[in-house]
């Protein structure tokens, strides 16, 4: 069901102007149709919600059963070989399948039509997909992408040594695209987790996964950039600041590890841009670990939610709005975050926020970009009031908004 939003007539020009034609491909492999779509997402669309994971303050700790890391010399031209030997056994292939039942049109349910169209009965087909994952506990907990296992009737995990196990999904979070699955096994090799908060562009990285069905494939490159927002890369339905890498990743790499030169996992490979080379994206491991811990503990993740669509205000947008809507809205500032739409019955609506309001500060932190609002919100607590300073028709106003849990909608 589509969400109805309060808006100002003809503001679609603003959304279409701000949207860029960026296409994102999720990296689960395709058999019949890849589970989770393995599809293309429209770039830079704007959200009904404004929550986005920030960085994790606490550093990740290594599991006791993690594979021992050999010191890697930065001058060793074959350091990748050492990483693969240490970590490769903890990287798995994940195959998933779900049964899709085609709905029969209502008109064919009439007895008259059933007499002549017996083939109109509901039909079923199986969608299959494959991806990658990595083992984080010797007792069989594995991390992967949500889109690899979303809606799966059956999940099969294949280890590097050829053993296969049935997998059980402990929890998944489509908002960050993280999932945890469990297999019944013991004494498994595990990865060691690094700290993605301290990464810098130019650092060497290694990707291990199963692209296009080619198991245990290794590629290497560097961190090209950090803190790529979901809107930057066209993943408009996600709440992640991504790592960008030029290490070659392809469909089937989804959920596999991105490793540093010491063999520590610093990201989860997730997506590539269509028609681009050397542009891959990974979820930072600090975000993955935070989300996975909640999934293991309670089987779900509740993200703070306000219920707005927003864009960065610019002088051009200010002039255009004053020209078109000057009888209803007067913008006197050209900096801040402009609210374009408000979801009915959302926290923002209940707090009295309106389209045309310009957010200047949240909890005394100045904001000029939607991503900044999202990061502040994600670090907030559901139900804890936020003090929002807005400019409305030239007047500065303080509004108190209490975030609610994000209502996640799934596609059938």
Catalytic residues: 147, 177, 254
Are 170 and 182 within 8 A, CB to CB?
A: yes
* Residue whose pair of structure tokens reads 């021992």 in the numeric block: 68
Q: Which residues pair with 127 in a beta bridge?
A: 98
Q: Which residues pair with 209 in a beta bridge?
A: 217
Report residue 371 as tokens: 């991503």
Report residue 244 as tokens: 């960008």
Distance CA 401, CA 373 (A): 13
* Residue whose pair of structure tokens reads 């306000």 in the numeric block: 306
Q: Which residues pair with 172 in a beta bridge?
A: 179
- Count of residues in the chain: 412
Reference 353, options 402, 308, 405; nearest CA is 308
Distance CA 1, CA 202 (A): 44
Query: First-to-last CA distance in the chain?
Result: 11
């Amino acid at each position: 069901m589509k969400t109805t939003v309060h808006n100002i007539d003809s503001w679609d020009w603003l959304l279409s102007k701000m949207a860029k034609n960026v296409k994102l491909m999720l990296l689960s492999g395709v058999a019949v149709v890849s589970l989770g779509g393995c599809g293309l997402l429209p770039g830079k669309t704007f959200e009904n919600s404004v929550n986005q994971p920030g960085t994790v303050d606490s550093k990740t700790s290594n599991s006791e059963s993690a594979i021992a890391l050999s010191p890697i010399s930065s001058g060793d031209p074959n350091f990748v070989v050492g990483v693969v030997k240490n970590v490769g056994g903890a990287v798995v292939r994940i195959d998933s399948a779900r049964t899709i039942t085609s709905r029969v049109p209502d008109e064919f349910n009439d007895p008259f039509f059933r007499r002549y169209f017996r083939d109109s009965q509901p039909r079923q087909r199986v969608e299959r997909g494959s991806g990658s994952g990595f083992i984080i506990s010797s007792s069989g907990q594995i991390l992967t992408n949500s889109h690899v296992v979303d809606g799966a009737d059956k999940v099969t995990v294949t280890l590097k040594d050829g053993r296969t196990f049935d997998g059980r999904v402990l929890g998944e979070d489509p908002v960050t695209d993280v999932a945890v699955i469990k297999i019944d096994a013991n004494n498994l090799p595990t990865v060691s987790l690094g700290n993605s908060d301290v990464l810098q562009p130019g650092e060497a990285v290694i990707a291990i996964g199963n692209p296009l069905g080619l198991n245990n494939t290794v590629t290497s490159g560097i961190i090209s950039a950090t803190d790529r927002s979901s809107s930057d890369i066209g993943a408009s339905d996600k709440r992640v600041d991504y790592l960008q890498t030029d290490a070659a990743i392809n469909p089937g790499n989804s959920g596999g590890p991105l490793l540093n030169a010491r063999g520590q996992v610093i990201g989860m490979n997730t997506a590539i841009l269509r028609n681009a080379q050397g542009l891959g994206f990974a979820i930072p491991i600090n975000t993955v670990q935070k989300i996975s811990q909640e999934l293991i503990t309670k089987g779900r993740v509740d993200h703070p939610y306000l219920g707005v669509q927003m864009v960065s205000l610019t002088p051009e947008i200010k002039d255009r709005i004053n020209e078109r809507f000057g009888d209803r809205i007067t913008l006197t500032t050209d900096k801040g975050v402009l609210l374009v739409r408000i979801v009915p019955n959302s926290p923002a609506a209940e707090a009295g926020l309106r389209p045309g309001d310009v957010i200047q500060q949240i909890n005394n932190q100045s904001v000029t970009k939607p991503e900044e609002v999202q990061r502040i919100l994600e670090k907030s607590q559901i139900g804890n009031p936020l003090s929002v300073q807005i400019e409305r028709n030239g007047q500065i106003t303080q509004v108190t908004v209490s975030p609610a849990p994000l209502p996640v909608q799934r596609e059938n």
